Amino acid sequence: MLSSEGFEVVRREDLSEVTYLLEVRHPELARAARPGQFVIVMSHAEGERIPLTIADLDRSAGTITLVVQAVGKTTREMQRDLRAGGSLYALVGPMGHPSHVGEAKKVVIVGGGLGIAPTYPIARAFKESGAYVIGVIGSRNKDLVFWEDRFRAVCDEFTICSDDGSVGIKGLVTLGIQQALERHSDVDELVAIGPPVMMRACAELTRPRGIKTVVSLNPIMVDGTGMCGGCRVKVGTTTKFACVDGPEFDGHQVDFDDLLMRLRRFQPEEKEALERWQTQGAAVT
């Protein structure tokens, strides 16, 4: 009663076997959102609130784009059920501080795995601000790469790194970053979004060089409005709530070990939910 209205999915695109794109109508949100911000969605009334980064938006069409990786129950169920014409039960945002696209003249933008999606609007914003943009994206293999063309279009230099060498250079994003830093001694800033382990490696690369490094953290969230404290992360000597103080933080200050441990908080329940869902009707469409 008096609750959610439903938010229409206007387009769905499968970017790989595990990655899909949802374009959702919400004109007010499309107008308000800035690069770096995220939303929280519930796919149905009994669902979980899950945070997803705003990967793109179209103000004239009044839509925002989400890119989702199917990892557990909720994201797989959404992959199975959501089509153009369907709807999300709840969609709220934009949340978090927008990326600070500031004075940097030369930036390295790093997206790993699913991180490719949320870094794209940041790369574009830096490009629009007149910066020299070096894009480095990393993927396990060729099939998981998406948005290469879009990314390339907003970068002055662009490198793909893959674990198996099936596309671009063979190696982790850190290899691509190292090569870029060798070519350019005057990089002002590096922005890295991806798995925490990758972000930590990026921060360790730039730390000795003293290059400002921004990472976007993805702790488990409930409300996204600063009310539960579930998303707390350690940054320097302080505790921050990623949803209202972040999600972007100084990568050199973040305690990644703490983040990695906290992401495992619900492992048994996540496993239970997924297994139950898979046996009880994941196949039923």
Partner 1 sequence: MAKKRTIRTIPQLRTAMTEQEPAERVRTFGEVACGYSLEEALRETERCLFCPDEPCVRGCPVGIDIPGFIQRLGERDVKGAYDVLTDTTLLPAICGRVCPQESQCEGVCTVGQTLAPVAIGRLERFVGDAAIREGWASVPFIEPAGHKVGIVGSGPAGVACAADMAKAGCAVTVFEAFQQPGGVLRYGIPDFRLPNEVLDAEIAKLARLGVTFRCNTLVGRLFTIEQMVEEMGFDAVFIAVGAGTPDFPDIPGASLNGVISANELLTRCNLMQARDFPAHDTPVGIGKRIAVVGAGNTAMDAMRVSRRLGADVMCVYRRSRTEAPARAEELHHAEQEGIDFHWLTDPIEVLDDGHHGVRGLRCRTMELGEPDASGRRRPLPVAGSEHELECDTVVFAIGTNANPILGQTSRIKLDARGYIEVDDDLATSLDGVFAGGDIVTGAATVILAMGAGRKAARSMKRYLGLVDSDVVYQETAAEDTLFGIAADRLGYARVKVPA
Ligand X SMILES: Cc1cc2nc3c(=O)[nH]c(=O)nc-3n(C[C@H](O)[C@H](O)[C@H](O)COP(=O)(O)OP(=O)(O)OC[C@H]3O[C@@H](n4cnc5c(N)ncnc54)[C@H](O)[C@@H]3O)c2cc1C
Q: Which residues bind ligand FES (CB under 6 A)?
A: 221-224, 226-231, 241, 243
Contact letters for ligand X, residues 71-110 (x by CB under 6 A): xxxxx-----------------------------------
Residue 276 contact among ligand FES, ligand X, partner 1, none, beta carbon within 5 to 8 Å by kind: partner 1
Does the protein bind partner 1 through residue 234 (CB under 8 A)?
A: yes
Residue 168 contact among partner 1, ligand X, ligand FES, none, beta carbon within 5 to 8 Å by kind: none
Nearer to ligand X, 169 or 222 (CB): 222
**3-state secondary structure (DSSP) of residue 244:** helix
Sequence-distant (≥ 6) Cβ neighbours of residue 218 within 8 angstroms: 51, 196, 242, 247, 263
Contact letters for ligand X, residues 139-178 (x by CB under 6 A): ----------------------------------------
**What residues pair up with 158 in beta bridges, in sequence order?**
135
Does the protein bind ligand X through residue 220 (CB under 6 A)?
A: yes
The dihedral sign for the CA sequence 268, 93, 78, 147? negative
Residue 213 contact among partner 1, ligand FES, ligand X, none, beta carbon within 5 to 8 Å by kind: none
Binding region for partner 1 (CB under 8 A) out of 14-22, 152-160, 183-191, 256-264: 256-264
Does the protein bind ligand X through residue 270 (CB under 6 A)?
A: yes
**3-state secondary structure (DSSP) of residue 281:** coil
Nearer to ligand X, 53 or 162 (CB): 53
In this structure, what token pair is assigned to residue 108? 């390295």
Rg (CA), the chain: 18
Least separation, in Å, of the C-beta of 20 and partner 1?
A: 19
For residue 34, the 8-state DSSP code is: -
Please, is 101 exposed, middle or buried when counting C-beta atoms within 10 Å of its C-beta (0-12, 13-18, 19+)? Answer: buried
Nearer to partner 1, 138 or 247 (CB): 247
SS3 content of the chain, % helix, strand, coil (to 5): 30, 30, 40
Cα(first)–Cα(last) distance of the chain, in Å? 27
Sequence-distant (≥ 6) Cβ neighbours of residue 188 within 8 angstroms: 103, 104, 105, 106, 107, 211, 212
In this structure, what token pair is assigned to residue 61? 């069409």
The dihedral sign for the CA sequence 63, 64, 67, 70? negative
Least separation, in Å, of the C-beta of 60 and ligand X?
A: 23
Does the protein bind partner 1 through residue 232 (CB under 8 A)?
A: yes
In the complex, which residues of this chain contact ligand X (CB under 6 A)? 38, 48, 50-53, 67-69, 71-75, 114, 117-118, 218-221, 225, 247, 263, 270, 273-274
Q: Which residues bind partner 1 (CB under 8 A)?
A: 1-5, 28-29, 32, 37, 42, 46-49, 73-74, 89-95, 97, 222-230, 232, 234, 239, 241, 244-245, 258, 261-262, 264-266, 269-270, 272-273, 276
